[in-house]
């Protein structure tokens, strides 16, 4: 059955209300998720939240961004406190829940591209630092999954790895610290191994979310992950890669609802998705295996609940087409 879900971030600073809204929208026939609230400030942003969860690696926040450091600073401590609060809200909101529940961390290569070395260059430029980061993140995955299961014993934990920077890491299009040069691309086998290490740290479903163009679908298929992407960014050639993914039995999390969507009816978004679906020869019956989401996070959208509702209604419409 076609299911709705979301990417993760919502606007605001109070975790209680969005957690309840997500539960109410998705708990009947969907995949609810742990809400992220970057409006709370440093330590709640995508990079800081994951950096604060790393095991045996510390970071601090500098004007240039998050940096590997000898000791955690107050921003990291705030990030850890935010996560504790979020897990308490999760336990209260999903008391008695039995079913899928998604949580997110930044993936290894977006994290390596976004964190800085103590001497000022990106972590992704240092092979040894990348290996340490991958191992630390893998352990953070194990810890977070255990924390979610302790908070919600009936949860089937799905791990989302946010990798918006993955195409840039592969293409070598990141800027150096000086801004004058580009960082060399990371070799594909190294990228694959890093993703595989983090993926293998979780014993449940793993989905990689990338809302950038040129998502490397073949790479992600090779490391046994599901894929979440913005379907509006897919070229015809990219749709061919998505079709191969679906035909191999992997689940597509289709970000078919624009984050600036207007109105309350998903018909246009459903039609756009199914038109692309048919162009690559996929049958309507395969729509039953989709997960439908907004195209990306909703942190900047004050009408987040309405956009999430559009994903719910789109999933219902697609389920009807799959069953026809």
Domain boundary, last residue among 210, 237, 269: 210
Determine the average pLDDT of the residues in 246-251.
94
DSSP labels, 85-125 = HHHHHHHHHTTT--EEEEEEEE-HHHHHHHSB-TTSSBGGG
Measured distance CA(211)–CA(34) in Å, rounded: 19
Inter-residue contact 10 to 36 (CB < 8 Å): yes
In a domain, 83, yes or no: yes
In a domain, 74, yes or no: yes
Please indicate, yes or no, whether the overall pTM of this predicted structure exceeds 0.95: yes
Max intra-chain CA distance, the chain: 60
Calculate the CA 8 to chain-centre distance.
7
Instruction: Work out how many domains the chain is built from and give that number.
Output: 2
In a domain, 24, yes or no: no
Q: Do 256 and 320 sit in the same domain of this protein?
A: yes
Q: Do 204 and 232 sit in the same domain of this protein?
A: no
Q: Do 73 and 197 sit in the same domain of this protein?
A: yes
Inter-residue contact 259 to 310 (CB < 8 Å): no
In a domain, 105, yes or no: yes
In a domain, 36, yes or no: no
Q: Do 265 and 293 sit in the same domain of this protein?
A: yes
pLDDT at 100: 98
> H or E segment at 65?
strand 65-69
Q: Do 173 and 316 sit in the same domain of this protein?
A: no
Per-residue confidence at 301, pLDDT binned at 50, 70, 90? confident
Q: Do 109 and 180 sit in the same domain of this protein?
A: yes
Measured distance CA(150)–CA(144) in Å, rounded: 10
* Cβ contacts of 302 within 8 Å, gap of 6 or more: 11
Per-residue confidence at 168, pLDDT binned at 50, 70, 90? very high
State pLDDT tens for residues 116-160.
Answer: 999 889 999 999 999 999 999 999 999 999 999 999 999 999 999
Determine the average pLDDT of the residues in 75-101.
98
Q: Do 80 and 180 sit in the same domain of this protein?
A: yes
- Side-chain half-sphere CA neighbours of 254 within 13 A: 33
In a domain, 85, yes or no: yes
Measured distance CA(96)–CA(99) in Å, rounded: 10
In a domain, 27, yes or no: no
Determine the average pLDDT of the residues in 20-28.
97
pLDDT at 281: 97
Range of the domain at 55: 41-210
pLDDT at 52: 97
């Amino acid at each position: 059955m076609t299911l709705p879900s979301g990417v993760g971030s919502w606007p605001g600073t109070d975790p209680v209300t969005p957690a309840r809204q997500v539960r109410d929208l998705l708990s009947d026939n969907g995949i609810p998720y742990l809400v992220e609230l970057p409006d709370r400030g440093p330590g709640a942003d995508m990079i800081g939240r994951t950096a604060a969860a790393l095991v045996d690696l510390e970071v601090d926040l500098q004007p240039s961004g998050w940096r590997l450091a000898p000791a955690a600073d107050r921003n990291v401590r705030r990030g850890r406190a935010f996560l504790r609060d979020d897990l308490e809200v999760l336990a209260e909101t999903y008391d008695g829940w039995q079913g899928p529940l998604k949580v997110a961390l930044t993936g290894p290569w977006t994290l390596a591209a976004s964190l800085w070395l103590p001497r000022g260059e990106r972590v992704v430029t240092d092979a040894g630092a990348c290996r340490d980061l991958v191992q630390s993140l893998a352990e953070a995955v194990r810890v977070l999954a255990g924390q979610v299961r302790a908070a919600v014993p009936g949860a089937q934990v799905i791990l989302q790895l946010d990798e918006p920077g993955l195409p840039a890491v592969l293409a070598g299009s990141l800027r150096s610290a000086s801004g004058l040069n580009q960082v060399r691309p990371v070799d594909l086998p190294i990228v694959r191994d890093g993703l595989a290490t983090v993926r293998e740290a979780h014993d449940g479903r793993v989905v990689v979310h990338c809302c950038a163009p040129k998502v490397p679908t073949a790479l992600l298929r090779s490391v046994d992950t599901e894929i979440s992407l913005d379907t509006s960014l897919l070229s015809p050639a990219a749709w061919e890669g998505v079709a191969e993914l679906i035909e191999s039995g992997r689940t597509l999390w289709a970000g078919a609802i624009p984050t600036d969507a207007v109105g309350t009816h998903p018909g246009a978004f459903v039609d756009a998705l199914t038109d692309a679906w048919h162009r690559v020869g996929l049958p309507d019956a395969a729509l039953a295996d989709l997960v439908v989401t907004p195209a990306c996070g909703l942190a900047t959208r004050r009408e987040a609940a309405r956009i999430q509702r559009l994903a719910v209604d789109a999933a219902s419409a697609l389920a009807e087409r799959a069953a026809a």
